[in-house]
Structures are given as structure tokens and as C-alpha cells.
Structure 1
């Protein structure tokens, strides 16, 4: 009870900040990744085979380094965190969108063309619905990863559950570390469950068995 009285208000604030970072960043990352994945699926494969590895270089940059570079140019403002997290959240969605669309069997595309569908109608009505299980898997990965990456916000003084983790490590206080780590783990689980439910809603019924639902 004393622990909650001491840290309760700060913990609730940190959880709210952390959740907002994740929601905004994943929403932006998903939107950008989906559009980029669709565009890459429309270019020649030799070109996408060059572009995707080049883009993946950004994902190999440690989050601390990336957010540190943005901090140098922008300072301790919220867009610094949002942009950094959005960039990292984008890649799983981009790759899965590209892979999912290219994985649609040709017979379905031929059937769509036979029905007189335009390329845009084929994308919306055939390719994206069939690729949706893979796309949502990318979204799930992005959300779970972003929950952990959002801890870096506290490194530039912008709050989140990382405050407790870093305060705990700097003072060798295991209680503070757990106060930051446990809610972050719970958030990751909750986001995973919610996205699993979303996947059931957006996946065509005929694909439920293939998607393992």
C-alpha cells in the first residue's frame, strides 16, 4: 500500500504517456508502412530487392542512437519520440505488406481481371483482404516492439515507463525497475491480444483456418 501511495500517481501518468506514444507511433508507422509496402509491390522486383535492404539499414540502427540524433536537431519535444518510434514501427508493416501482396496466388488475380476489376479494385477487394493475415502480423510485431522502444522516451526527459526503469537502474532499486518493466510487459500483452481480435475481424472468413484462427 505504501508503494502505491508513493508512486501511484507517477505510475499512472507514466503508463498513460507510454500508451499514447505507442498508439500514435504505431498508427503512423502502420499507415506509412502499408502505403510503402503497396507501392513497392508495384515496382519491378529487382528494384524492390534493392530498396527494401536499403530501408532495413535504418532498422539496424540502435534506437538510442536514432533518438539521440533526432534530439540533437529537434531537442526534447514529443515529435522526436514519435518520429523515432514511427520509423521503427513502419518496417514490420512494410515488409509484411509487400510479402503478403506478392504472396497472393495468380489465379485470384486472374479471376479479378476476368470480372473486369481495375488494378485499384483488385488491390482493395482481392489482394489486401488475402494479404491481411500477414499484414496484421506485421502490425502486431510493430506494436509489441514499440512498447519496448518507447522506454527510450525517458532518455530525453519525455516520460513514459522508462522513467522508472532508468531511475531504478541508476539507484540500484529493483522495485522501481519492476514498476516500469511489469506494466510495459502487460501493455505488450494487451496490444497483442487486441490486434489478434482485430485480425479475426479483418481476415476473410475463408482464411481463418489458414491464419490459425
Structure 2
């Protein structure tokens, strides 16, 4: 409990932002789903065959896994709030349409005939007779949709839309139960509160319900306008992948940029998502900068295979820089010193017991190996695919999220994992890296990636970020990761402290 209260105190600003983002995404999705589903249900009451067809379509849409739906939407609408809202609307259609349709079709036919006898128009009958009678059933469907939306909206953090899911993802990544609890509990409280408000609408008049709907729309529109009007400075959006290291780096970027130019305001989007999400967001103009690695550029983004084995640090960077410029009109700035390469890691005790020093030694004990690796590493040519091909070894591997694989090896559920050379968990869990004696892994030096247009229009920002070129050793990066992941220090403070010690930032 003490850790939860401490995090609430330290991150109350972040929690407020995440809560507002979650509320906005949820309410926008609910309102759009209502605008689509309810009129369709009103129309379908008089068209039975069409109603059955629409119910089937809504049911099929709801069976699509959320991650799959988000993945399908990214190439079409990019990253961020838009695909998150579209996905949530899709999931909310069924309960709203179904309950609205049922509520209207279950009205006593005698009451319908009485309304017709009084000479009511179709609209008058809907507003004065049908809606009031069907309201409890309709409200029940809206409540179900709302709870579904708020729970599913935690997935929005995976594609940079923010919300309370960012706390949950951060907690999983850092093995911090308190962060997970805060994100989950706040999401639950939000669902209960809004559900109770909608429950109250069962007893309200149609005018009151419409009034609250109007206020919600004004709130959502007003908050967006306010944010746009109150931001006098130019806003630069910098995003980072999942993990402590990208978050430390983007905070360094922010400090350096804002120190050198007081007219620029930097907005950070930490734990934005997977590599391909960030790359897509950058190309689509959703973000301006993010930290990437030279090896990732050549292995993941190259449309044609690029030979990376045996390349020096300089050769790897020059190839990556040229590729980004020619292929996607992107600029890769000068890299930092450390090489955050892939590695295979085992417990030091396991290493000593089996006399392991290099990856080639694994060939002697493949029958003992049980791997836990990230899905990205398993599927990469310079990852497990390359290991199997180059070293002629194979063993069973389970795909796991980055933080979970370290928990698994610590609990002896697996005995070999993929790692990065700067991971704090290597020190935390007493793991040893096996030497890549056949040079499967290319060099991974980190550098800011941005569009050519952005770089040309912001030479002062390029100058600020290039101050990190050639700096930060592997030991320094691992120590900073350890301070965040194990000592639970704020990444902002860790980044600030490093820059001050390196005389790159003035002490405040």
C-alpha cells in the first residue's frame, strides 16, 4: 500500500492526464456508437429481415480480437486516438443496437395503436411513447457498452492513444504491481461511476437525457478547443517504445530541446508501443521524433535484405542513415556510444554448471533448453531465426512480453531468454550473456529518427539532439535502467541527473 500511495503522490499529474484521456476516448466512442446503433434500431423495427442481418453483422464484429482489429486499422488510419475510437465503437454497437431494438419491439401493441389513434406522427410517437417505455432496456444496453468500452480502452495505450492502460503496460514492463493496480482500479472506478450515472438516466425524461448528451458533447469539444487555444508554443511530439530506456532517452531529448529553445514545448508519449507502431506513426506525421537503433533500421525497415554481419559501428550507421533517407525520406541523427545489441542470456549458475561461454556451446545441451523470448525476437532474421540458421541449434521457445520473460527465468520456468545488453534485469536477476561468437547480432546504436522535412525546418532541434552523439556507454545506460526499474526512480529525474553530470544541462 505504501508503494501505491507513493506512486499516486509522484505521478498524480500523469494519472490525471491518463484519466482524462481514458474518459475522452470512452465517451467519444460511446456517443458515436449510440449515434450509429440507435437510429439503425429505430429503422429496423419496421424491417425484421434487415434487423436480423444487422444483429448478425454486429455480433461478428464483436468477435474480432482487439489486438487484431487494431493491427488491421493501423495501415488504414494510422496510430493514436482514431483507430482506438473506431475499435471501441465496433465493440459497442451490438449491445446498444440489440437492446434498443428489443426495447422497441417489446412495447405492448395496444399502446402503439392508442398512439396512432391520437393521430401522433412517427416522430411524436417515438419521443412521447416508445422511447419512454423502452428507456430501461435501452439504458441497460448503453451501460453494458460503456463498461465494455472502458475495459477495452486500456488497449489504446498500445497504439499511443494514452489512457489508464499506460499505467498497466508500464507496470507489466517494470514488474511493478502498484502501477498495474492503480491503472486497473482507476479504470474500474471510472466504469462504476459512469455506469451509475447512466443508470440514473433510466428514471429521467427524454429531454434530460438529451440535455446530458449535449453537455457531454460540449465537454469533449471544449476540452479539445481549450488545449489548442492555450498552447501558445510550438509543440513537438516525441514518442518512445515500451521500456525504461526509451523513456529515459525521450526525457533527455525533451530537456535538451526545451533548454535550447524556450519557444518550443515538447510533449512526450512514453510506452507508445511496438517498433512498427512508432515507425508508422512517424511516417504518418502522428509524432515528430523517436529513438531508434541502427540495427533495427537495417533488419526491420529495409524493404530488401541488407547484409549486416561484420559491419563496423560507422558502416552500420552510414547504411542505416542512407536507407532511411532514400526509402522513406527520414533522417537518422548521429548515434550514441553504446551498442544495445540483442543477446542470449542464462542464469550465471546455469552457465557455470554447463560450462557455457558462447552461443555455440548451447549445441551440447539443446535437450535441456527451454526458451522464453519476445515475439519480435522469435520472428526476426537477426533474432532466433538467425540463431537457428547460423548456429544450427533449435529448442522450444514460448513467446512472452519483455518483462514477463525475465520473471519466467527468475522463477525457473524457462532457462534461456533473449535480452538487450543494457537491460537492468541482467544485473537484477544475476544473468550472464553468452558471446555471439558467429556474429549473428548486428550493431544497435541508438539515434533520434525524424522526417527530412522536420529536420530541415528545425536545425536548432537537430543541434540540441546531436549533443548526445558519441555519449552514454553501455555501463551508464544499464545503470540508468537499473535506477528506474529496480530503484523505482522517476525516468525524468534519471535523465535530468545524467545530463547535469555530463554538463549538457544546467542545474535547476
In 1: Cα distance, 2:136 partner to 2:6 partner: 46
- Give the corresponding residue for 2:162: 159
Confirm whether residue 171 of structure 1 aligns to residue 174 of structure 2: yes
Determine the C-alpha separation between the residues in 1 that align with 2:165 and 2:142. 23
Provide the rounded CA distance (Å) in 2 between the counterparts of 1:49 and 1:90. 14
Q: Which residue of 2 aligns with 1:115?
A: 118
Residue of 78, 97, 101 corresponding to 2:100: 97
Whole-Å separation in 1 of the counterparts to 2:89 and 2:49:
27
Secondary structure (helix, strand or coil) at the match of 2:45 reads: helix
Q: Partners in 2 of 1:51 and 1:28 — Cα distance? A: 17
Q: How many residues are paired up?
A: 202
TM-fit CA distance, 1:121? 2.4
State whether structure 2 residue 189 is matched by structure 1 residue 186.
yes
Partner of 1:210: none
Q: Find the structure with the greater CA-based Rg.
A: 2
Matches within 5 A, 1:11-160: 11-43=15-47, 45-160=48-163
State the Cα distance separating 1:52 from its structure 2 match: 1.2
More helix, by proportion = 1
- Measured against aligned partners, the alpha-carbon deviations of 1:136-173 in whole angstroms (never above 9, x if no partner) come to 11111111111101101101122110011111122221
Uncovered stretches (5+) of structure 2, i.e. residues with no partner:
207-508
Determine if contact 1:153/1:159 at 8 Å carries over to the other structure: yes
1:199 aligns with 2:202: yes
Going by fraction, where is strand more abundant, 1 or 2? 2
CA contact (8 A) 2:37 2:93 kept: yes
Q: Deviations for 1:163-195, whole angstroms, at most 9, x for unmatched residues?
A: 111111222211110111010010011011111
Pairwise CA distance, 1:50: 2.7
> Quick one: higher RCO (CA 8 Å, sep 6+), 1 or 2?
1
State the match for 2:376 in structure 1. none
Q: Distance in 2 between matches of 1:171 and 1:198?
A: 41
Where structure 1 has 5 or more consecutive residues not aligned to the other structure, the ranges are 204-213
TM-score normalised by the chain length of structure 2: 0.38
Question: Quick one: distance in 1 between partners of 2:61 and 2:55?
Answer: 10
Instruction: Provide the aligned C-alpha RMSD in A.
Output: 1.5
Instruction: Kindly indicate whether the alpha-carbon contact (under 8 Å) linking 1:132 and 1:202 is maintained by their aligned counterparts in 2.
Output: no
Kept in 1, the 8 Å contact 2:55–2:94? The answer is: no
SS at match of 2:204: helix
